[in-house]
Structures are given as structure tokens and as C-alpha cells.
């Protein structure tokens, strides 16, 4: 079991570590590459996963509900913890609500459970993204217009892919192959970009960062277990939900905190320490779900 877990996690953290090393030594500007990834490659990955006759969106409704409950429930728990601990809720709540389901979650699902796990993981990813770009932005600024969330390329690709699946429209196979090939660029680029971004982060609040880094997967896995008691899911989706719960805070939380001036140094500490601690928590989650 230990060897299998190492074999699953090693490629993820090896590519991330390489990105971190290059980020420290070379300090490359990946802003254009990251924009291309979010605007072209990730949408291609999402569309290719959803736009096939085997994808039935109605079959994923329980998973959509479970994911929504997990994200919202994590936020409520974080808000309660923040009030009790005297922490500014806007600093703690987003990193606990929104995990690294893109950079780590998508490749981890494929490595651990095979290509068949990509579509349900994309469902988890898109539910989290929709809430992050709408409610997550509103949380920082109640005056923000959440309508542009529908213009996010990965969101547009989601609805287009679902529409193709529902209508049983057959995309020309060579075109679908080209889209799938573009999507395959996104996963290693996300991991490498994650490492480069972490290389530019600072740890100014070690205690606070460690607190958030532990709270995120503990709350996530506990909620996943509780939700699975009331919502019946297939075994693979149960495993993905538990792994989803164990993921660390998303790097996007730091970008939001920096944009809105919400203690970005503390959030950066949670993100950096959380992604390092993910080696432990993802190992625990995989040990719980692998046969």
C-alpha cells in the first residue's frame, strides 16, 4: 500500500518540486503560460472530459450536491472557528472553503483511479470553481459583480461540454482528439506552475499557516465522511470526495487575498505550508480509499 501511494504522489510532487526549484533559481515569468493554461488548456481538458456520449450529467447530480455541501460546510466551519479564535473570517474562510482541486486534484484523480475518474473530478473542480469565482469574490467585496463568472473559459467549456453530452451531438473525432491533446498540456503545466508560484510565496506567519494547513484537510475529510452517510455515491465517487476533502488550500486564495488586501502574507503561509503538508494528508486519504 505504501509503495502504491508513493507511486501515485511522486509524479505530482516531483513536477511541483521542479517548478519550485526553477522558480527559486531562474524566477521565470509564467504569467502568459498560466493565462494560456486557464484560458485554453484547462477548458480543453474540461470539454474533452464532458463532451462524450458516456458522460451523463444526471448521474452526477448526487456528486454535485455532495460537493456543494462540502464547500459550503467547510466555509461555515471555518467561519465558526474564526469567530471563536478571534481571526478575521475573510482571511481564514476562503482557504478552508476552496482547495487545490485543479493543480493537484485533477492529476491525482487520474493517477490514483485511472482516466475514468477524470470526468467526476472535473465535476468536483467546476462546482468549486463556480462557487469560488462567485461567492468567493463576493465574500471579499459585497459590491462585486458575480455575473462575469459565466465568462470564465473553463466555466463556458463546462456548459458547452454538458450541452454536447445531453444532445448526444457527435464531435468530429479528429477534432475531439486535438482538443484532448490540448487538455493534456494543462496537468503538467498546472503542477509546474504551482511550484513556481510557491517559490515566490513567503512564510511570515508560521503558526497561523500551520493552523490553516491542518484545518483545511481535517475539516474536508470529516465533512466528506459525514456527507457520504446521507448521500449515496458510487465507490469511485466516494473515494474522490474523500481525496477532494484532503486537498490543501488553493493558490488562487492568495491571489484573491492580494487583490483585495486581505492579509495576503497569512494566506500565502497557509497555501505554502498546506501544499507541503499535503504529502501527509493525501497519503492518509489514499490509504483510506485504495484497495
Residue 93: C-alpha distances to residues 72, 73, 78, 83 (Å): 10, 11, 5, 11
Structure confidence at residue 283 (pLDDT): 94
Structure confidence at residue 128 (pLDDT): 92
- The rounded distance, in Å, linking the Cα atoms of 124 and 29 is 30
For the cut 80, the answer to whether the pLDDT of residue 249 exceeds it is: yes
Q: What is the mean pLDDT of residues 180-192?
A: 89
Structure confidence at residue 109 (pLDDT): 92
- The rounded distance, in Å, linking the Cα atoms of 89 and 95 is 10
CB-CB contact of 218 with 277 (8 Å): no
Fold of 2-289: Na+/H+ antiporter like fold (1.20.1530)
> In which band, very low, low, confident or very high, does the pLDDT at 53 lie, cut at 50, 70 and 90?
low
Q: Residues 75-114: pLDDT tens digits?
A: 999 999 999 999 999 999 999 999 998 888 989 999 999 9
For the cut 90, the answer to whether the pLDDT of residue 265 exceeds it is: no
Q: What is the mean pLDDT of residues 236-262?
A: 89
- The rounded distance, in Å, linking the Cα atoms of 238 and 228 is 7
Report the chain's mean pLDDT, rounded to a whole number: 88
- The rounded distance, in Å, linking the Cα atoms of 1 and 5 is 6
Handedness of CA 92, 284, 245, 194 (dihedral sign): positive
DSSP three-state, residue 82: helix
Which among 284, 270, 276 has a CA at the least distance from the CA of 242?
A: 284
Residue in the block written with cell 481564514: 92
Q: Is 274 exposed, middle or buried (0-12, 13-18, 19+ CB in 10 A)?
A: buried
Q: Give the long-range contacts of residues 263-267, CB within 8 A, separation 24 or more.
A: 263/88, 263/91, 265/202, 265/204, 265/205, 266/91, 266/204, 266/205, 266/208, 266/209, 267/91, 267/94, 267/95
- The rounded distance, in Å, linking the Cα atoms of 227 and 68 is 11
DSSP assignment of 28-70 equals ---HHHHHHIIIIIHHHHHHHHHSSTT--GGGGHHHHHHHHHH
Amino acid at each position: 500500500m505504501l509503495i502504491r501511494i508513493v507511486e501515485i504522489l511522486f509524479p505530482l510532487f516531483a513536477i511541483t518540486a521542479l517548478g519550485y526549484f526553477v522558480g527559486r533559481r531562474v524566477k521565470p515569468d509564467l504569467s502568459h503560460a498560466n493565462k494560456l493554461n486557464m484560458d485554453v488548456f484547462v477548458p480543453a481538458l474540461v470539454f474533452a472530459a464532458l463532451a462524450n456520449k458516456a458522460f451523463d450529467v444526471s448521474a452526477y447530480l448526487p456528486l454535485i450536491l455532495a460537493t456543494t455541501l462540502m464547500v459550503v460546510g467547510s466555509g461555515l466551519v471555518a467561519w465558526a472557528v474564526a469567530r471563536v479564535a478571534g481571526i478575521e473570517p475573510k482571511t481564514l474562510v476562503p482557504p478552508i472553503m476552496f482547495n487545490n482541486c485543479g493543480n493537484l486534484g485533477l492529476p491525482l484523480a487520474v493517477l490514483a483511479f485511472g482516466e475514468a475518474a477524470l470526468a467526476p473530478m472535473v465535476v468536483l473542480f467546476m462546482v468549486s470553481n463556480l462557487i469560488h469565482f462567485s461567492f468567493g469574490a463576493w465574500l471579499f467585496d459585497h459590491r462585486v459583480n458575480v455575473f462575469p463568472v459565466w465568462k470564465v473559459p473553463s466555466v463556458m467549456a463546462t456548459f458547452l461540454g454538458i450541452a454536447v453530452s445531453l444532445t448526444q451531438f457527435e464531435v468530429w473525432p479528429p477534432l475531439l482528439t486535438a482538443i484532448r491533446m490540448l487538455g493534456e498540456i494543462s496537468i503538467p503545466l498546472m503542477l509546474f506552475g504551482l511550484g513556481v508560484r510557491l517559490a515566490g510565496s513567503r512564510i511570515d506567519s508560521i503558526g497561523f499557516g500551520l493552523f490553516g494547513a491542518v484545518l483545511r484537510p481535517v475539516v474536508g475529510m470529516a465533512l466528506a465522511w459525514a456527507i457520504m452517510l446521507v448521500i449515496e455515491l458510487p465507490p469511485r465517487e466516494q473515494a474522490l470526495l474523500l481525496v477532494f476533502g484532503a486537498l490543501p488550500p488553493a493558490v488562487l486564495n492568495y491571489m484573491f487575498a492580494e487583490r483585495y488586501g486581505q492579509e495576503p502574507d497569512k494566506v500565502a503561509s497557509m497555501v505554502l505550508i498546506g501544499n507541503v503538508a499535503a504529502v501527509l494528508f493525501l497519503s492518509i486519504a489514499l490509504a483510506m480509499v485504495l484497495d
